[in-house]
Chain A
Amino acid sequence: MSQPLIEIRNVSQTFRVKDGLFGKPRRIMAVDGVSLTLNAGDVIGVVGESGCGKSTLARVILGLQKPTAGEVLIDGKRLHDLSGKERARLIQPVFQDPFSSLNPRRRVRDIVGMPLVAQGGIPGSEVRSRVEAIMQRVGLDPAMGERLPAQLSGGQRQRVAIARALVLRPRIVVCDEPTSALDVSVQAQILNLLAELRRDFGLSYLFISHNLAVVEHVASEVAVMYLGRIVERNRSADLFHNPQHPYTKALLASVLTPEPGLGIPEIGLGDAMPDPSNVPPGCRFHPRCPVAISECATRAPVVTASQGGAVECHLVEAASV
């Protein structure tokens, strides 16, 4: 494995939001200096609260948004230099909500075949046979091709979205919370299908989720995001058994267990939602951190290697010196 499949270098994405005509424009830091590599065959899980920039990161990697700073390399080529067609052959998305990710006015057959048609020059008979083959592979009856999305169940719709993502045989699939809109019973089916397809097609996933159990199940490596930055990154097993960053610890502690009588866990973070338009100075997690020291409020921590992963925390930094 010479070069990583995806290399994200110091990517930032800020949005300017204006309150009314004469309002002062605010800058929202959705993603702030994120670096991440994905090797062929790996599954990187990205976890974090709502609004931490997970989905923005996914949109940047998919080329749907040009990052304000930094660059994304896919297979050694700059994402921004690729044409839409080239990009489509490398990387494809599966979105969260299978009700808004399928055009309600098009038939399943046309939705799945869209990436093939967009490539141009593929004869109609080949498009049809490839669409039928991929539908069968994801567990859909090709006869369903005639239906409209409204006539399918949530699980079937998500299978259609997966078929659309795989029909071009891409190398990377960005899954943005692919199961969180589904029933629990269907979630497992879709996760198993994704695992199977990864093996058979040699895919790599960037798997975004706020469901830690799902991430632990599918990911070989996990990145924890907080307010636009990756605060901890490690192999899945190490991160779940030996979390370093206080935020990761809090996230893991917040997972609901099916054991009766335990109640809702106390995570000790307070209820102050982080505001990406007003990022705190120093370590961005310090206002909510249960173990913050005075230094946290003034100086931003640097990335420190720890336990085989990377962490951004003063305490870890101090311990490693």
Chain B
Amino acid sequence: MTTNKIGLWLGAVIFVGIGLIALFAPLLAPQDPFQQDLTRRLLPPFWMDGHNPTYLLGTDQLGRDYFSRLIYGARISMMIGILTVIGSGVIGTAIGVVGGFYGGKVDDVVMFAITTRLSIPLILVALAIVSIVGSSTTVVVMTLGLLLWDRFAVVARVATMQVRTQDFVAAAWAAGCSHFHIVLREILPNILAPLAVVTTLEMALAILLEAALSFLGLGVPPPLPSWGLMIAEGKDYMFFSPWVITIPGVALCVLVFGINLLGDGLRDLLRTGRTT
């Protein structure tokens, strides 16, 4: 087993692990993450003096169980990450494949769309949209999903152009296959490898952007436990209770790190073309 394989497995374990935690959050969380108890505010986690065994990772400024909020926060991060890449992946791949496949004027339009999108500052647009329609999880997913397609489009376009010139595509033309068949059967399966890598990168980016938006108070609205929001809510107390921001921060880091490891591992695995 090479080091890359170790990275791939570690990444997969982290990603699947956090995914399972998110899926089974109601079963795993020891406490109600919304239950406030103002008499037990800012209790320290288990490795510090004065901790309460009921609250494994202590409590936040409103006395809510931090461990349970962390578990429920995984749901928000995973959901936003996955839904965003599904939306942006479909949009970006469609745009990129069409541009790369047809070329010429169609490709000029696609390139114009991509450069236009790249010139739009992401956070600024997200802030504008949220300030107009208000913040909710749906708005965050929609905004990110409609904005994060640029890398999918760039990669899908270039990969399609590369695959399109191969003889097996010419053979499919000569066999009388339809455009739809050629795109679906001959091109798409051969550009999945780079797209899989982009998917992981974009998922990590979407999760970080959600955290950033929530930190700015424009993402997931309280009292929902988003990791970004937990950092934002904890920042006033970090001087005396630093764990309120280190715990969700570490969780965020581990998840993004795991996804990136998974992406690197996938890239190396698929590049060698060994599928058996």
Mostly helix, strand, loop or mixed at chain B's interface? helix
Task: Check B117 for interface membership: any CB of A closer than 8 A.
Answer: no
Contact-size category for B:
20 to 34
**Interface members, chain A 116-156 (any B CB < 8 Å):** 118-119, 148, 150-151
Q: Which chain B residues border A83 with CB–CB below 8 Å? A: 176
Which of B173, B175, B275 is in CB contact (< 8 Å) with A164? Answer: B175
A106-B189, A148-B275 known; A91 and B168 CB under 8 Å? no
User: Within the assembled complex, what's the spacing in Å between the Cα atoms of A77 and B173?
Assistant: 19
| 0/1 string, A73-96, CB within 8 A of B gives 1 | 000000000011111110111011
Query: Which of A63, A89, A96, A102 interacts with B168 by CB under 8 Å?
Result: A102
**Nearest residue in A to B275 (C-beta to C-beta)?**
A148
Contact of B176 among A59, A88, A164 (CB under 8 A): A88
Q: How far is the CA of A31 from the CA of B176 in the complex (A)?
A: 24
Q: Is the CB of B171 within 8 A of A59?
A: no
- Interchain CB contact under 8 A, B170 and A115: no
- Shortest CB–CB separation between residue B135 and chain A, in angstroms? 42
Nearest CB on A from B214, distance (A): 40
Q: Which residues of A contact B275 (CB under 8 A)?
A: 105, 148, 150
Interface pair B177/A93, CB less than 8 Å apart? no
The answer for the CA separation of A105 and B169 in the assembled complex, in Å, is: 12
User: Given that A106-B185, A106-B189 are contacting pairs, would A118 and B170 also be in contact in the complex, using a CB cutoff of 8 Å?
Assistant: no
| A118 touching B190, Cβ below 8 Å | no
CB pair B176 A115 closer than 8 Å: yes
Q: Taking the complex as formed, is A225 at the interface, i.e. its CB lies under 8 A from any CB of chain B?
A: no
Give the distance in Å from the alpha carbon of A20 to the alpha carbon of B176 in the complex. 35
Indicate whether B131 reaches chain A with its CB closer than 8 angstroms: no
With both chains docked as a complex, state the minimum distance between the C-beta of A293 and any C-beta of chain B, in angstroms: 42
Given A103-B189, A104-B190, decide whether A95 and B167 contact each other with a Cβ distance below 8 A.
Answer: yes
Given the complex of chains A and B, what is the CA–CA distance between A24 and B166 in angstroms?
Answer: 29
Interface residues on chain A, size class? 35 or more
B178 within 8 A of A: yes
Q: Are A91 and B174 in contact (CB under 8 A)?
A: yes
Q: Closest chain A residue to B179 by CB distance?
A: A84
Residues of A near B121 (CB, < 8 A) are none
Smallest CB separation, B104 vs chain A (Å): 11
B173, B178, B186: the one contacting A103 at CB < 8 Å is B186
- Does B235 lie at the interface of the complex (its beta carbon under 8 Å from any beta carbon of A)? no
A95 & B176 in contact (Cβ 8 Å cutoff): no
How distant is B250 from chain A, measured CB to nearest CB, in Å?
Answer: 40
B50 at the interface (CB under 8 A from A): no
By a CB distance below 8 angstroms, the chain B residues around A106 are: 185, 189
Chain B nearest Cβ from A127, distance in angstroms: 13
Complex: how many Å from CA A62 to CA B170? 9
Judge if B276 is at the interface, Cβ distance under 8 Å. yes
What are the 8 closest A-B residue pairs judged by CB atoms, nearest first?
A88-B176, A101-B167, A84-B176, A105-B189, A115-B175, A95-B167, A85-B176, A118-B177
List 15 A-B residue pairs with CB atoms under 8 Å apart, sorted by A's residue number.
A62-B174, A64-B174, A93-B170, A100-B166, A101-B170, A101-B171, A103-B172, A103-B185, A106-B185, A111-B168, A114-B177, A118-B172, A118-B176, A118-B178, A151-B276
Could you list which residues of chain B lie within 8 angstroms of chain A, going by C-beta atoms?
Answer: 166-168, 170-178, 181, 185-186, 189-190, 273, 275-276
Chain A residues engaging chain B, CB cutoff 8 angstroms? 59, 62-64, 83-89, 91-93, 95-97, 100-106, 111, 114-115, 118-119, 148, 150-151, 161, 164, 168
